[in-house]
A and B are shown apart, each in its own frame.
Chain A
């Protein structure tokens, strides 16, 4: 009985990490047959960096993720602020619904509906002209801002109301209170919201597939088309690099948090 928990938890972690380990191990495999060991090699990493399609897609994905995460933080914070701090107003239930609904919306529906909107808008008002990075950025901002809004909302609710009242009591006007007090206090939530939005955007295949256009294939779209044709070792190499970056990032964040304490 005493051993039950450690064993189950151990198996659980094994389950979580064996696939990741296998990705990394076979990225150093000489053989093109991803799952048969053919000797140690780093050639797939070289191949990865020489593949213009992957390099382009990577740049596109990073650009889209950075822009849409930033927009999502701005809009999501406004939405959270309005919902938590503005009291009742006409249209509040609608805004509240529109802010949380993207969280439960299947990606295929979000993708299809935005594509049809963009097509109709183009015919009606001529904007956005064609599909490409702009339309992907808009689409990602929509669903990322919902996540940001949730994170920021919970931080705002936890925040002591009297901090803002104190600032106002000491002579600060409302906008001033927001920039002097509210924003610095919720800053950690903005940072984690940005990171979450950035990751979600970088990771999205389905929505981007619907709303992208020629020349704006994102990294997940390129990976998906490669993977559909079967395993390919340069994808393993790419995965290993991503895992390395994330592990380093989380490690550094943990260190920084320990130091702050």
Chain B
């Protein structure tokens, strides 16, 4: 499970000497190619086209792009996005939340991955399985679990009240705090797995060599382990940061009305406001604003690993 899947293709491969495989080869290429062309690439053109139209009370709720040979498209929907600070705030807020929760996830995930990688064999497999198990269970239900824990009369508040630590229930649900908890919780396996995969390959004799040369455990960690695990850190951070930017479920269930994230804004624009043209414009902007930084990130990740 890595995002940077730069599998070097086109290396040495069997030539087709006089086999008449020309059309067969193209047929094999065509199946996935056409499927993805129709159902992945062309949809973006459709979205782009609809983002230029006027909203209309109709089914579907948008006007035509051409009428009597005249082009009716305009950038009105985009100008609207610029005029309302909601959209820019939501975009910046998504980046902020994604960045902070990535760092939090790394800080919790790294020691866990390290501990798993350094434990003896039967225990290591069991611990690894315990990390993977939540990943195979429903994402939605794992977020749901936190509602029960965090709400006013939820488990945590009840426990703290019973212990006498607090005398008023804390407001935790529907806050940014709840969103961070939810994100770190659900994305933790994505951080631990690549880090583990990297750390488990770390040659134990390197650590012994370092301490043999007089370095203490902290120096050894900072000078040997950490730099060598950088590819794992980058892979893990990308697996968390990238999907969190567009996250919808967690802010919708755990966040408050003021937890603005771009994915949630698009959802509301579409399902609550039923404004397909503005939703399309948001999608296009998001595509440019999310895909471009991601391409940049991947470049960096490639350089590191």
Contact A75 B35 (CB under 8 A): yes
A102-B40, A104-B242, A206-B248 known; A82 and B133 CB under 8 Å? Answer: no
Q: CB < 8 Å: which of B33, B36, B112, B286 contacts A13?
A: B112
Q: Can you give 16 contacting A-B residue pairs, CB < 8 Å? A: A1-B217, A15-B185, A23-B144, A83-B7, A87-B10, A89-B29, A98-B36, A100-B3, A104-B243, A105-B291, A117-B39, A123-B60, A142-B40, A154-B5, A175-B24, A235-B141
Contact B145 A106 (CB under 8 A): no
Contact B139 A35 (CB under 8 A): no
The total of chain B residues at the interface (CB under 8 A) is 94
Contact B10 A88 (CB under 8 A): yes
Contact A116 B141 (CB under 8 A): no
- A142 to B35 alpha-carbon distance, docked (Å): 8
Residues of chain B within 8 A (CB-CB) of A87 are 9-11, 13
Contact A117 B9 (CB under 8 A): no
Map CB proximity to B onto A26-41 as digits: 1 under 8 Å, 0 otherwise. Answer: 1000000111100000
Residue A107, interface by CB 8 Å: yes
Residues of chain A within 8 A (CB-CB) of B185 are 15-16, 19
Contact B263 A161 (CB under 8 A): no
Q: Which 9 A-B pairs have the closest CB atoms?
A: A106-B246, A113-B43, A9-B115, A19-B145, A79-B32, A98-B36, A117-B43, A8-B111, A12-B112
CB contacts under 8 Å to B, within A242-261, are: 242-243, 246-247, 249-250, 254
Residue B14, interface by CB 8 Å: yes
Residue A163, interface by CB 8 Å: no
Map CB proximity to A onto B14-48 as digits: 1 under 8 Å, 0 otherwise. Answer: 10100101001100110111011101111110110
- A242 to B138 alpha-carbon distance, docked (Å): 8
- Pick from B75-83, B203-211, B223-231, B276-284 the stretch touching chain A: B276-284
Residue A190, interface by CB 8 Å: no
Residue A112, interface by CB 8 Å: yes
Residue B170, interface by CB 8 Å: no
CB distance from A21 to the nearest CB of B (A): 9
- A5 to B24 alpha-carbon distance, docked (Å): 56
Residue A108, interface by CB 8 Å: yes
CB distance from A212 to the nearest CB of B (A): 12
- A2 to B178 alpha-carbon distance, docked (Å): 32
A22-B155, A235-B144 known; A15 and B108 CB under 8 Å? Answer: yes
Map CB proximity to A onto B103-141 as digits: 1 under 8 Å, 0 otherwise. Answer: 000001101101110100000010101111110111111
CB distance from B244 to the nearest CB of A (A): 10
Contact B283 A117 (CB under 8 A): no
CB distance from A112 to the nearest CB of B (A): 5
Residues of chain A within 8 A (CB-CB) of B39 are 114, 117, 138-139, 141-142
Residue B12, interface by CB 8 Å: yes
CB distance from B39 to the nearest CB of A (A): 5
Residue B142, interface by CB 8 Å: yes
Contact A107 B248 (CB under 8 A): yes
Map CB proximity to A onto B144-182 as digits: 1 under 8 Å, 0 otherwise. Answer: 111111010111001000000000000000000000000
Q: CB < 8 Å: which of A100, A107, A224 contacts B140?
A: A224
Contact B246 A107 (CB under 8 A): yes
CB distance from B47 to the nearest CB of A (A): 5
Q: Which residue of A lies closest to B249 (CB)?
A: A205
Contact A153 B7 (CB under 8 A): yes
Contact B129 A254 (CB under 8 A): yes
Residue B56, interface by CB 8 Å: no
A96-B9, A103-B3, A227-B253 known; A109 and B42 CB under 8 Å? Answer: no
Contact A120 B29 (CB under 8 A): no
Contact B5 A153 (CB under 8 A): yes
- A95 to B40 alpha-carbon distance, docked (Å): 11
